[in-house]
Amino acid sequence: MSSFDVTFKNLIMKLEKLFFVLFLFNMLGIYGQNQFLQNQQNLNPISDGYLNYINNNKDKNSKVDLSTINGTPYGDEEFVLGKAYDILAQNTGDFYMRYNIYNDAIETKKNLYDKNAIDLIKSENIYVKINDNRYHFRGYIDGEGKQKSGYFILISSRGTNRLYLKKNKKFVPKREATNPYESEVPASFKDYNEYYFEINNSLTLIPEKKKAFLKQFPEKKNELSNFFKKEKINLKKKNDLVRLLNYYSTTN
């Protein structure tokens, strides 16, 4: 065998090894993406990926014609590139996202050309960043004492204590005219916001009245009452709530 044949054979072997290595890297890249985009069957929020297909039978938006309603179920109807974080698996995934406030769901697409949106799996171990907002899924008790779970926007944190914003959309049905002199009032979405403190891993609704707020913290009533008076705290103002959280955290 000539030296040229040996050299050519070695070159072929090196190319085969190179192609094999490139193939492995390609497969690993595909696996890394698909762990976030599993089939809708038997999904687990941690081991099987982030996303779950929307069940149209349970999607509240599918029960009404949105074109006949004033307002929108979304905070922003446009899909924006965001990032999902899996705290336990220490993984991240990039998706186009929007927050459906009425359904309390993060809708996602891998690219803007996808026709169907996919819901992010709801888990306290997963949070997302969309623009400047960080969305966390939490269990909580609402103002009527009902146990619920949903997405909250993180406003501020001090140690383990946090201030969250809960955005809400109320659907108001169409009101028919009852006589010839009245006009029909179309259906609409009405916005209202609530703020919550997370203290010792428990979310507490922040009432708008000082007296109701102090009842929630009887062991610190005097300290907080003095702080309210000195700093002129208004429970309807976000910046005042941040100051209140910071002060409360110093009293622990």
The reported pLDDT for the residue numbered 200 is 87
What is the distance between the alpha carbons of residues 227 and 221, in angstroms, rounded to a whole number? Answer: 10
The reported pLDDT for the residue numbered 195 is 97
What is the distance between the alpha carbons of residues 148 and 182, in angstroms, rounded to a whole number? Answer: 39
**Identity of the amino acid at 156:** S
* Measured CA distances, 27 to 21, 34, 39, 249 (Å): 10, 10, 18, 48
What is the distance between the alpha carbons of residues 54 and 63, in angstroms, rounded to a whole number? Answer: 14
Q: pTM of the prediction?
A: 0.75
Rounded-to-10 torsion of CA 116, 104, 45, 33: 40
Write down the residue that tokens 């999904």 correspond to: 43
Where are the chain's structural domains?
206-252
Residue 246 CB burial class (10 angstroms; 0-12, 13-18, ≥19): middle
The reported pLDDT for the residue numbered 89 is 80
The Cα diameter of the chain in Å comes to 104
What is the distance between the alpha carbons of residues 150 and 42, in angstroms, rounded to a whole number? Answer: 22
Rounded (5°) CA angle 34-40-43: 80
Of 117, 157, 116, 115, which is closest to residue 136 (Cα–Cα)? 157
The reported pLDDT for the residue numbered 185 is 85
Q: Across the strands, what pairs with 138?
A: 150
Write down the residue that tokens 């169907």 correspond to: 116
Per-residue pLDDT tens, the chain, 252 aa: give them. 555 454 555 555 554 554 443 433 443 343 344 444 333 333 333 223 344 433 333 445 445 567 778 888 898 999 999 999 988 888 888 999 999 999 999 999 888 988 888 889 899 999 999 999 999 999 998 888 889 999 999 999 999 999 999 999 988 888 887 888 888 888 888 999 999 999 988 999 999 999 999 999 999 999 999 999 999 999 999 999 999 999 999 986
